[in-house]
Amino acid sequence: MRVALVAPPFIPVPPRKYGGTELFVAQLAEGLKKQGIDVVVYANGESTVDTEVRSLYAKSQWPIEGEVFANLTDINHSAWAIRDASKACDIIHVNSAPALAMSRLVDVPMVYTMHHVHDEHLAKFYAYYPEVEFVTISDFQRQRESMARMRTIHHGLDTNLYTWKDGRREHLSFLGRIAPMKGTHLAIEVAKRAGIPLKIAGEIQPCYRGYWESQVKPHVDGKFIEYVGEADLPAKNELLKNSIAMLFPIQWHEPFGLVMIEAMACGAPVLALSGGAVEEVVSHGVGGFICKDVEDMAARAKDANKFDPARVREYVEREFSLEKMVSRYAELFRDVVESRALAAPEAEDIEPLTQLSGGNTIAA
């Protein structure tokens, strides 16, 4: 079986710093390869994943220069990749919605992993592609969707890439985009309430520059509240393995939260507000605490040093291993290749989706 994995074109696979989807694609690709499956990754030319890589764009297309340009870039990359993959691959796995528009232009089955929160406009768009096999990354996400072909596969992690240590830790950490939905400002409040220093690592995207300037930067003093910039893998390891706990004061319906299992792989318990897939990822009292509010999180931060880093890491190794994730995807790919008719449904059997709210039109 030859599998094509189509990543978005913006960030290298694997990412140097920010890029959860690209990390997922890289680890899935290399995991499938270890199982003896022939894999080709379609990504930008700066990608270093240890498989065959084919590229339309030689360089990363990041930072994104506006939504329209980003969509056109993704569509251009996806159309080229899917057409190329259809010549020699048994199945095509995609990771961005624009790729679905090409599913009926090739005679190869398609699997799509959804990496986003539920969106009613996208849900209407997805309904137009009943022949595509959809993968949700949490049961929380799946329960909000209604596609005909759908299953949940949790993310896994190559824990060999993450380090941990015994001994007392001295600071809290926040790792993720500096954005209101990620709750960076709340992490600062937790640290101040608990009286424990906080180190913040993450990308400041242009659209959230105002949030950084008004809600985060005024509190950063380089001592009690420290911003350390974006973190590559070595920097993540250093930050997390020395953390009393990683704070995850999420303010949206997180579809999974890969950073939570990264933290636990480094032995750092996660203190998270309830929401989205948090309850699926963090076992309360084992991998961290699910907190009621900021006050509760601050109180639990004072006790987080009581967690045994070895047990926290063992939880990830048991529940979110890369091997478990890769095996489930390999099983899915084989099921689809063996059991699904490759021909697309007749167009007249599908009710055309002609207009989304807001005036955006999709041609049938």
**Maximum mean pLDDT: which of 61-70, 112-121, 278-287, 350-359:** 278-287
Whether residue 134 sits in one domain with residue 102: yes
Domain membership of residue 303 (yes or no) is yes
pLDDT of residue 351: 54
Other residues' Cβ atoms within 10 Å of the Cβ of residue 226: 15
> Is the pLDDT reported for residue 194 higher than 90?
yes
Q: Do both 329 and 268 map to the same domain?
A: no
The residue among 362 and 358 whose pLDDT is bigger is 358
Q: For residue 354, is it within any domain?
A: no
pLDDT digits 0-9 by tens, 235-246? 999 999 999 999
* Angle at the Cα of 281 from the Cα atoms of 311 and 294, rounded to 5 degrees: 95
195 burial type by CB count under 10 A (0-12 exposed, 13-18 middle, 19+ buried): exposed
If you average pLDDT over residues 191-209, what whole number do you get? 96
Instruction: Check whether 342 has a pLDDT greater than 50.
Output: no
| Residues 152 and 195 grouped into a single domain | no
What is the count of structural domains for the chain? 2
**Structural domain includes residue 357:** no
Residues 165 and 148 in one domain: no
Q: Look at residue 67 in the predicted model and tell me its pLDDT.
A: 79
Phi, psi (deg, nearest 5) at residue 52? -65, 135
Mean pLDDT of all residues in 242-254: 97
Q: What pLDDT, on a 0 to 100 scale, did the predictor assign at position 343? A: 47
Does 344 map to a domain?
yes
- Is there a single domain that holds both residue 170 and residue 148? no
Determine the pLDDT at residue 353. Answer: 52
Residue 276 and residue 180 in one domain: yes
pTM of the model: 0.89
Q: Is residue 253 part of a domain?
A: yes
Residue 39's pLDDT is what? 99
Residue 228 half-sphere exposure, CB side, CA atoms within 13 Å?
Answer: 19
Query: Are 171 and 148 members of one domain?
Result: no
Expressed as residue numbers, the domain containing 179 is 160-319
Across the range 154-172, mean pLDDT stands at: 94
Does residue 81 register a pLDDT over 60? yes
Q: What is the mean pLDDT of residues 244-251?
A: 98
The predicted model gives 190-216 an average pLDDT of: 97
**Tens-place pLDDT, residues 311-324:** 999 999 999 999 99
Residue 264 lies in a domain: yes
Do 110 and 127 lie in a common domain? yes
Does one domain contain both 45 and 175? no
Do 23 and 126 belong together in one domain? yes
pLDDT at 350 over 60: no
Question: Is 360 among the domain residues?
Answer: no
The string of pLDDT tens digits covering residues 8-67 is 999 999 999 888 899 999 999 999 999 999 999 999 999 999 999 999 999 988 777 777
pLDDT at 347: 44
Task: Judge if 59 and 164 occupy the same domain.
Answer: no
Say how far apart CA 274 and CA 285 lie, in whole Å. 14
Residue 339 has pLDDT above 90, yes or no: no
The mean pLDDT value of the chain amounts to 92
C-alpha dist (Å) from residue 57 to 67, 78, 102: 18, 11, 19
Residue 363 placed within a domain: no
Whether 255 and 282 map to the same domain: the answer is yes
Query: What CATH number is attached to the domain comprising 279?
Result: 3.40.50.2000
Please report the pLDDT score of residue 362 as a whole number: 37
The answer, yes or no, to whether residue 344 has pLDDT greater than 70, is no
Q: Is the pLDDT of residue 179 over 80?
A: yes
Average pLDDT over residues 300-315: 97
Percent of the chain with pLDDT over 70: 93
